Structure 1
Amino acid sequence: LIAYDLFVHPPQKAGTLDFKFVTFGAQIGNPTVRGMFGGYITEIGPQFWYNLYNQKDEVFVVSLRVPSQAYLQVETLFDEGHDAIGYLTHPNTVARVWRDIATSQAVPSQLTRRAFAAPQAVKKAARKPAPPRALLIGINDYPNPEDRLEGCVNDVFLMSSVLQECGFDAESIRVVLNERATAQGIRERIEWLLSDPVPGDVRFLYYSGHGAQIPGYGPGDTVDRLDECLVPHNFDWSRETAFTDDNFFDLYSQLPYETNFVTIFDCCHSGGMTRQGGAKVRGVNPPDDIRHRMLKWDIEKEMWVERKIDSPNRELETEFTGESKAKRRLGRAVNLRTLPSKEYDRARQQYKHKGPYLPMIYQACGENEYSYEYRHGVTSYGAFTYSLARILRRLGHQGRGITFSGLRDRIAKDLIELGYQQDPCLIGPGALCSQTVPWRGSGSRAEGKKK
């Protein structure tokens, strides 16, 4: 950590440093440590950085992605875990690091990369933005019959057709449905979605299914937060089968700032019910043993009440931590935003970055609202997704574009007209929310003025 800080801020009298930076068994990617640097790890200048990573090293070591052509993570798997000799003498280290340094290769050869680097860590030469890439997830057939939905698979096919009309290539859209959409299956496909990003890339994540919130645990195995989560097919209320922000913040929080990563979650996290008329809700209620962890007995009132949980950072806006200030909302990398505002701003200025990458996030409803299914004749869709697709198609036929914030407003209006009391949310970098949705031809015009 000291070496990283030194190389990011070399002494003024040091001149131009000529070195190769090699880290192994490093905790710099750990969320607690990254939070100290403002939540984002930057490149160290023109010098090349090799990070030796062993997934069996349990001494607070995690995988690290750095948005730089001068960075490479080398997989060095061995059983001893946190052992310097194991890292430094690993065959991949010898072939990928020491050989490169000995021959003074600034950037490793393509042949060596293919032979020794893990697929997600492959270091490629600089390239232009690739065609837009999308991952669409839909789950109807949950194991519990009471949890089954009707419109999620339809949503996926609807979104795929709309995206292709908007310029996405069919081969760049991947789909995972029902029993294949396990927690691990979703994680693996998101790794594909966000792999090898460069500035200007467009990546699109869509989820249609149940949402929930589960207790999160801190020191002493005590509940210290609530985590919003997606509900995979194999979900059983354990953290191993839930898909929380902890499952993928490491994949998006280090994206290049110029990457366009858009996420859409057509689900809710307020529990489930069926409203009058039969419209299903895309959220599930916790079983009583899980619910008990979030309650306490009020002796004076002689009733169960929600447990008060201290917020790790009350200065964060409710869009990140919810009304309770003790929730980790999806896609916000809250665990990297723990510094008080003044210290956070100081760290970002000192290390010359903007903090963790923040995706453009659409959620089908507000924090304490329900996301409903809509029945279009005899075919079910998510009410939010149906409105989204209808608006994009209508604008496409008219040859018009729309801003991200304008799209949210139009969907909200459409849902009211359909009779649904759900107010969709949009969070993202302020400057981007006022920009035109980039899924239309270059001749389209934005709806509304840019700020």
Structure 2
Amino acid sequence: MGTVYALLVGIDDYPDKPLGGCINDVAEAESWLRQHGGPDPRILPLRDREATRAAVVDGIRRHLGRSGPGDTALLWFSGHGSEDESDDPGTATGRSQALVCADSLDAGGQPLQDTELGALLDEIAARGAHVVAVLDCCHSGGATRKPPPGARSRQVAWQPWWRTDHSRAPRGAGAQDAEPLRHVLLAACREQEVAYEALVDGEQRGYFSHSLVHALRRLGPAATYGKAHALAEERVRSRHHAQHPELRGPEHLRFLHGDALPVPSFLLRHTVSGWEVNCGQVHGLRSVGAEFTLVEETDDGRSDGPRVVVVREVRPESALVEPAGWTPGRDDLTTVHGVNPSALAFPPAAVTVVGDPAAVAMMTAAVARAPMLSTGGPGLPLRLEAGGGVARVTGGDGHPVDVLPLRSSDDAARVADCLSHIARWHRLKDLTNPDPWLSSLVRVTVEPLVGDLWHTATGEVVCSYTPSGQEPQVRVGVHNDSPRTLWCVLLDLADDYESSPALFEGDFVAPGHAGTARQGEPVWLRLPPGRLLVRGSFARDWLRLIVAENELNVAPFRLPAWSPDAPGSGRNDVGPQGGDAGGLLRIAPPPVGRTAGGPVRDVGRWGTVAVPVRTVLP
């Protein structure tokens, strides 16, 4: 890792609305940073009246802006936050947020609004630095629940003279190339909530800052953003159940360093409700009895085999589990464990293998070793024609897969990987809640910007290139017509068997409001590389919106396009996002006496809606 540039802003001295824990927050953050931030971190502290709006903006531009490729830029802000109503179409909650600087409450002073802050940080990230923002303030107000005794909220009302900035800096030139690098955000609470501070361990502290530093010290050098957030969130919620810290960014990256670690897609932690895995109905988990096996990151000398937890309650976004045959220790209660699924509650894909007997025998053996696959049963029907040294895979909804070589057992394993990849993609594409109530109250809209657009009788949206050959552009909206705030993620399932949440990576959408894909930037549609650009050529995408009342673990929704050169998704390899490439892939017979199947009694409050999109070359 290169140099860490840190801007630590703590403000207690606000006129008429003072705080007492912000200076302590950034002092503790600086102490941790000097111990764990690598060689010679460059730290710029701004405290109380030093932290004017101009000084904070200048600190971001000049101090954090010194970071380059391989460096890290860290903004830690502890102070007041505020919000106001907004008619900005890019704001899914209908509110705009701002950081309240030391002079923001002075006559004529202005806050640092979210749009400007995001643009400043993303500009630094676009130059190659790893950028992290830790904000311990009220991102938005409106919480109606009373704080715990002695707690104080970090929120002030929007002042009448504050301007509302609806401008949004461009994020990528049209977005037709690779996604621009963006900052990682760790926020003290959701946009519709307030953050609190109180006397913690004998010192006035912000709940979130105190919990985050504790989590980082507990997890050590291997702390990822996902693990740090999971542990800090539980500590905050144990103190005040109406404050929910948020993570916006990749879960698998190492905190402060930004390098990808080979961590599983799911995490196990101990909560006030018991042991919990962040895998639920929206990830394909269907029934009580499924199992997860802990991924042991250290060799502690145990000889009694892997530790397993069994699902006892399935929720929309998570599952409550209990240890099976082992007793958690004290350290287990205060850390986060990576887990992999080891017994699943849905059937594998059913593969029919035909062709040359020798090739059929080789493929049948490979299918038997692949946990996502079976040679019979009610799962997704796939067909494999084997013979003449090649294999032909059919049965998936995506673009036909190229003929694959089949001359050895290694070739057979790669063919099984292809089948497993297709099976996992279909699980995401076909994901639905048996209860249609919430699904009927959300919508995905596709509006044309460049090129023609029309709807077919089957509900498919067709977008065409212009007569001059320009790629079509559309604006995609995520609409919440329900009476409650919903957390939404929009998956793009492409016909090359790729799944990505990059269009709308996860955010709350207020009742009666809409979010826009790519934060309002145009969505470019095109035929993928290698597809013939001739009249009548087309590509298909399925836009699947998944909604719930709480944040979801989005790691299992990421799936790269199928490639013969990619790691095997059916052989327990590590995937490109740092997690298990299989996600909910492994299957093993449950121990005798356990029920691994059966329907879910409570389908939970979550929903999905899908919009098929076809891009054509007229």
Higher helix proportion: 1
Q: Which residue of 2 aligns with 1:55?
A: none
Q: Which of residues 329, 332, 336 is equivalent to 2:170?
A: 336
Structure 1 residue 154: deviation in Å?
0.2
Structure 1 residue 236: deviation in Å?
3.0
Distance (Å, rounded) in 2 between the aligned partners of 1:140 and 1:336: 34
Distance (Å, rounded) in 2 between the aligned partners of 1:440 and 1:369: 28
CA-to-aligned-CA distance 1:131-164 (integer Å, 9 cap, x gap):
11111000001122xx100000000100000111
Q: Which of residues 175, 183, 200 is equivalent to 1:359?
A: 183
Distance (Å, rounded) in 2 between the aligned partners of 1:363 and 1:392: 15
- 1:348 to 2:180 alignment: no
Q: Which residue of 2 aligns with 1:448?
A: 338
Rate the CA distance shift 1:191–1:416 in 2: closer, same or farther, 3 A.
Answer: same
The alignment partner of 2:56 has SS state of helix
Rate the CA distance shift 1:353–1:377 in 2: closer, same or farther, 3 A.
Answer: closer
Q: Which residue of 2 aligns with 1:282?
A: 154
Q: Which of residues 195, 199, 203 is equivalent to 1:371?
A: 195
Q: Which residue of 2 aligns with 1:156?
A: 26
- 1:198 to 2:68 alignment: yes
Distance (Å, rounded) in 1 between the aligned partners of 2:122 and 2:31: 29
Rate the CA distance shift 1:271–1:187 in 2: closer, same or farther, 3 A.
Answer: farther
CA contact (8 A) 1:201 1:259 kept: yes
Distance (Å, rounded) in 1 between the aligned partners of 2:243 and 2:11: 21
The alignment partner of 1:348 has SS state of coil
CA-to-aligned-CA distance 1:300-323 (integer Å, 9 cap, x gap):
xxxxxxxxxxxxxxxxxxxxxxxx
Distance (Å, rounded) in 2 between the aligned partners of 1:158 and 1:184: 25
Rate the CA distance shift 1:237–1:365 in 2: closer, same or farther, 3 A.
Answer: farther
Distance (Å, rounded) in 1 between the aligned partners of 2:202 and 2:3: 35
CA contact (8 A) 2:33 2:41 kept: no
The alignment partner of 2:131 has SS state of strand
The alignment partner of 2:217 has SS state of helix
Q: Which residue of 2 aligns with 1:270?
A: 141
Whose radius of gyration is greater, 1 or 2? 2
Unaligned runs of 5+ in 1: 1-128, 219-224, 295-326, 338-343
Q: Which of residues 28, 34, 59 is equivalent to 1:189?
A: 59
Structure 1 residue 169: deviation in Å?
5.0
Distance (Å, rounded) in 1 between the aligned partners of 2:213 and 2:18: 23
CA contact (8 A) 2:29 2:213 kept: yes
CA contact (8 A) 1:198 1:256 kept: no
The alignment partner of 1:195 has SS state of helix
The alignment partner of 2:214 has SS state of helix
Q: CA RMSD in A?
A: 3.7
Distance (Å, rounded) in 2 between the aligned partners of 1:284 and 1:271: 11
Structure 1 residue 231: deviation in Å?
0.3
Q: Which residue of 1 aligns with 2:401?
A: none
Structure 1 residue 364: deviation in Å?
0.4
Unaligned runs of 5+ in 2: 89-93, 262-296, 299-335, 340-577, 580-618
Q: Which of residues 255, 263, 266 is equivalent to 1:437?
A: 255
Distance (Å, rounded) in 1 between the aligned partners of 2:83 and 2:156: 9
The alignment partner of 1:413 has SS state of helix
Alignment map for 1:90-101 (pairs within 5 Å) = none
Rate the CA distance shift 1:361–1:285 in 2: closer, same or farther, 3 A.
Answer: same
Structure 1 residue 367: deviation in Å?
1.3
Structure 1 letter corresponding to 2:68? V
Rate the CA distance shift 1:284–1:272 in 2: closer, same or farther, 3 A.
Answer: farther
Rate the CA distance shift 1:171–1:360 in 2: closer, same or farther, 3 A.
Answer: closer
CA contact (8 A) 1:214 1:226 kept: yes
Alignment map for 1:172-187 (pairs within 5 Å) = 172-187=42-57
Distance (Å, rounded) in 2 between the aligned partners of 1:442 and 1:360: 14
CA-to-aligned-CA distance 1:313-353 (integer Å, 9 cap, x gap):
xxxxxxxxxxxxxx97xxxx95436xxxxxx8x9322xx34
Higher strand proportion: 2
Structure 1 residue 176: deviation in Å?
0.2
Q: Which residue of 1 aligns with 2:226?
A: 405
Q: Which of residues 187, 198, 213 is equivalent to 1:389?
A: 213
Q: Which residue of 2 aligns with 1:137?
A: 9
Structure 1 letter corresponding to 2:25? D
Distance (Å, rounded) in 2 between the aligned partners of 1:439 and 1:259: 10
Rate the CA distance shift 1:239–1:436 in 2: closer, same or farther, 3 A.
Answer: farther
Rate the CA distance shift 1:412–1:353 in 2: closer, same or farther, 3 A.
Answer: same
Structure 2 letter corresponding to 1:437? F
Rate the CA distance shift 1:131–1:171 in 2: closer, same or farther, 3 A.
Answer: closer
Distance (Å, rounded) in 1 between the aligned partners of 2:169 and 2:259: 38
Distance (Å, rounded) in 1 between the aligned partners of 2:79 and 2:147: 17
Structure 2 letter corresponding to 1:286? W
Q: Which residue of 1 aligns with 2:352?
A: none
CA contact (8 A) 2:3 2:40 kept: no
Structure 1 residue 248: deviation in Å?
4.0
CA contact (8 A) 1:141 1:148 kept: yes
Distance (Å, rounded) in 2 between the aligned partners of 1:253 and 1:187: 13
CA-to-aligned-CA distance 1:261-298 (integer Å, 9 cap, x gap):
000100112168973512000111235x579x99xxxx
CA contact (8 A) 1:199 1:256 kept: no
CA contact (8 A) 1:133 1:168 kept: no
Structure 1 residue 382: deviation in Å?
0.5
Structure 1 residue 377: deviation in Å?
4.1
Structure 1 letter corresponding to 2:197? E
Structure 1 letter corresponding to 2:121? Y
Structure 1 residue 130: deviation in Å?
4.1
Give identity over the alignment, percent. Answer: 26
CA-to-aligned-CA distance 1:12-43 (integer Å, 9 cap, x gap):
xxxxxxxxxxxxxxxxxxxxxxxxxxxxxxxx
The alignment partner of 1:436 has SS state of coil
Q: Which of residues 29, 35, 54 is equivalent to 1:165?
A: 35
Alignment map for 1:43-82 (pairs within 5 Å) = none
- 1:243 to 2:115 alignment: no
Distance (Å, rounded) in 2 between the aligned partners of 1:187 and 1:240: 14
Q: Which has the higher contact order (CA 8 A, sep 6+)?
A: 1
Alignment map for 1:110-149 (pairs within 5 Å) = 130-144=2-16, 147-149=17-19
CA contact (8 A) 1:271 1:284 kept: no
Q: Which residue of 1 aligns with 2:130?
A: 260
The alignment partner of 2:70 has SS state of coil
Structure 1 residue 257: deviation in Å?
6.3
